[in-house]
Structure 1
Amino acid sequence: MLKKVKATALPTLLLVALLLSIVSPAVAHEDDYIVGLSAFRDGLYDISKPSLDAYLAGETEERKADYSHYLLYQILLNRNDFKSSLKHLNAISSTKDRRYDTIRMAKDKMLLLTKTNCGEATAYLAESNDDTSLNYYLDSECKPEGDSIDMLINNAKSDKTKLKVIAKFPDNKELVTKVFDSLNFSNLSNDSKKYFALYFYSNGDMERFKQVRAIYEDADVVGLELDSLWKAGDRDGFIASYEDYRKKYKLKGANACRAIDIYKKSDTEFDCNLVNECMQKYSVDFVKLKGACLVKQGDNKKITAFIDSLKPTIFPGMCGYGEYVFHNDLYDGKAHNKFYQCEEKYKVADVLLKKGDYQAVVNMFLKKDKDMDKYYTAISLRKLGKTEAADATAGTIKEEALKLKYSGGTQ
């Protein structure tokens, strides 16, 4: 960065300008250089630039001209006038001066080339081998091709810069592979290891995937390993590895579903919470799958908690198990009315009546409009000894056959 203007510099330069106004034109021209140099040193770049331009426009001394180019390239770079800055920098590319900051010049040249000519910037990779220059290139719109890819990788000294190469060109498989092969695994962060594992697996490079897998694992990476076993048809290897990894990680998604499939086909009991890992969004299908698991295991408390937790939108998944649940006394809750939306609701009601759970039937059908609903409500109320309420409900039934059926059962 160029330094800021000194507050005390302006009077000095005004004095110099006044002196120049009273000397000969030749001397004044020579002293354009002095004004330009002094102004640059004092941070007065708006004065320095026109003075140095004026000096270069006339007869000049070679060494002073070169240094004028050196100062002007810096001023113009600071103004983001990249094309003009590069022109001045190129003018002194073959000159030597102990006042030059050659290291900075080399880095600035890469920056200027990336702003003006990507082809030349790419070619300059052969000369520019410091990470600062490479990062200028990587931060630009320029893209390497062919041998320049190797130069970019070979010149990168830090793994951080090499990883930046990958971040810029993730679709270039050749480049990513070459960078990976040049890295020291022990220096990689876990995020980088995971990136390579996912990258190589998704691109079918199992050899390099296994290299990463040997030094790193997490839920996603072991998930890919399980996926490879499944695709290879190794069901025994899959389920053995799955059970081992599940002790350490939550293996959500397809692999959990695959494990359930293996357990079901082998008639092996499994943790019903696997369904939550298989189907992470609650749905009717989720309820069907988890409901089947819970019903098979016959845990009254778990089934009761599950039914009570279900929202009406997904409850239909439980409908197919209603008769079995109530016949085997697997529900102790109060949400019998949830089964009203099931096609099998009257079969469920018949089971409840046989079990003598009349209040549960009332809860299912009370204040419903269908004649059959009123019939079940009426006979249940009557069983509860609420004859007046039962008869009143039966009196609203329109279908004569149901009325007669109710009346025929009146004590």
Structure 2
Amino acid sequence: MRWLSWDRNLKVRLVGETLFNMLFWMYFPFLTIYFSEALGKATAGMMMTGPSLISIVGSMLGGYFTDRFGRRPMMLLGSFIQVVMFVVFALSISHWIDYVAFITISLGKSLYRPASSAMVADLVSDTNRRSVFATFVTANNLGAVFGPVIGAVLFFNYRSELLWSCTFVTLLYSIAIFFMIRETMPEPMEKKVQSYNALTVLKEQWMNYVVIFRDKAFFLYILAGVFITISIMQLDLYLAVYVKEYVPSQVLLTWKDWSFMLSSEEVFGWMIGLNGLMFVLCVILVTKLFERWSDRNTLILSAMLSGVGMFLVGFTSNVWLLFVFTVVLTLGEIIHGPVVQNFVSKYAPKNARGQYMGAADLQFAIGRFIAPLTVILSVSLSPLVVFGFILLCAICSALLYIQLFRIL
């Protein structure tokens, strides 16, 4: 499906989300280092679970309200929350205020995401969804090419200017949503006149999610997603700590009397940059290569590549080998993204897409909640044991995907 033939909603979102993510990747990968240096690794590991708890609540509420009030209002709410919190983050003089701003930004993102995914499902046919989701993954990771490399300098030296830039870009995108994006929610078969209060919302939401999670296949899908998310998230969590502590400054390139050195932080920035570059260059190509593969086989392969690639990192501190293993684990992540989004689009009933998207997002929220455990474990365990735990999570994910498709 060619980009020029897309609905205007999708074009506006593609541009806006690309710009925002370009700045997002300049600060997010360095937050674990930032908090661990200021407050200690154990405290930082516990703190990094907070955004995931917030995301669980946000995803469930976002999915529920997306199906009640529409996609556009929830996207506006989520984006404006992020604008306000970036202002707070930029003006903060305390690590704890930084942390509150960070977790509230996570709330805004989790309110936005189910509505965003549901809008794609509303506007795109079944046959084209994988390629559209792949295009969004490519665009959203465009910033991951240069963001971490630039952020390795900007975040620690010009943090305030960076956060004000995030504020400005997110505000512009929020204005674009308000003026340029239309509602796409399908008309309900029966229109109910209902007054909403907190008790009614909680009761109805609870009942709806009970129905969703009684679906054994969908429950296994979420559980498998939790385990692979734990593995994938280590790129921004334990990997940052490992590279800083165990990878020394070293020469990347040398020619005659000239050499190009990288510090530990810069090695990590380049690894994240390589991850992003592969997303930009390879997502659409890889999606096309695997389009004839079943969802089952692609999800199993993605879990194993992610886990094995991360496990191999623990055997080396050589920068070039680290780049090779980054390629392996990134391939797993690339294969996983479009397929996992397309699965929910096909599986969810039309009148409950928002809630299914919100429920599906729980795999990422719960996975991100558990993922910082590796940073806490690293205080008392060797890197190889920690990477072994990450590999075990990936294997569990692959086994659960096998069981899921047996049921289907």
When the two structures are superposed, what TM-score results if normalisation uses the length of structure 1? 0.15
Structure ranking higher on relative contact order (CA contacts 8 Å, 6+ apart): 2
When the two structures are superposed, what TM-score results if normalisation uses the length of structure 2? 0.15
